Amino acid sequence: MRHLLTIAVLVLLAVPNCMAAKETVQQLAARADAARPEDRPGLYIEIAERQLKAVDELFATGKDEEAVAAVKDVVTYSEKAHDAAILAPNKLKNTEISLRKMAAKLRDIKRTLGFDEQAPVQAASDRLEALRTDLLSKMFGKGK
């Protein structure tokens, strides 16, 4: 009986995690906007990472216009994560790490594209690097 109760509790704890994975980007964005300030950076980063994954998939399938729109979303939500992290200083490090990884992924994606598609991806990577550099300055006291 005790084991059954333990299993039931574990299942109930797992349900919100499964539901979060099925949230659309719009639902996640609404949740992020309404979240506590210390929860916002992580939620915005999750949205940016989802959009980055979409960028890779869309370019791979030849949907360049949709991919460029998703690149803009990556930048938008990365900026929101940056701004939210500044308001929640204990989130600076994780946000900076995520921005660094996403900027590197954008550079990797850029290398697979034709010349005409590279510019928006490079600009997005540069913007994420600028955001990341600003967070580093805040973390080490040079941007206070």
Whether the pLDDT of residue 20 is over 50: the answer is: no
Site of tokens 């994954």: 53
What is the Cα–Cα distance from 106 to 125, expressed in whole angstroms? Answer: 6
pLDDT score, position 142: 62
Nearest residue to 53 (alpha-carbon basis) of 25, 29, 28, 79: 25
Q: What is the pLDDT of residues 71-103, one digit of tens each?
A: 999 999 999 999 999 998 889 999 999 999 999
pLDDT score, position 95: 95
In which band, very low, low, confident or very high, does the pLDDT at 10 lie, cut at 50, 70 and 90? low
Do the Cβ atoms of 40 and 80 come closer than 8 Å? yes
pTM: predicted TM-score of the whole model, two decimal places: 0.80
pLDDT score, position 85: 94
pLDDT score, position 18: 44
pLDDT score, position 116: 85
Whether the pLDDT of residue 9 is over 90: the answer is: no
Whether the pLDDT of residue 122 is over 50: the answer is: yes
Q: What is the pLDDT of residues 50-71, one digit of tens each?
A: 999 999 999 999 999 999 999 9
What is the Cα–Cα distance from 18 to 80, expressed in whole angstroms? Answer: 25
Q: Which residue has the higher pLDDT, 105 or 22?
A: 105
Tokens coding 68? 């460029």
Tokens coding 28? 């996640």
Q: 4-13, 83-92, 135-144 — which one is most confidently predicted on average?
A: 83-92
Provide the mean pLDDT of the chain.
Answer: 87
What is the Cα–Cα distance from 77 to 113, expressed in whole angstroms? Answer: 23
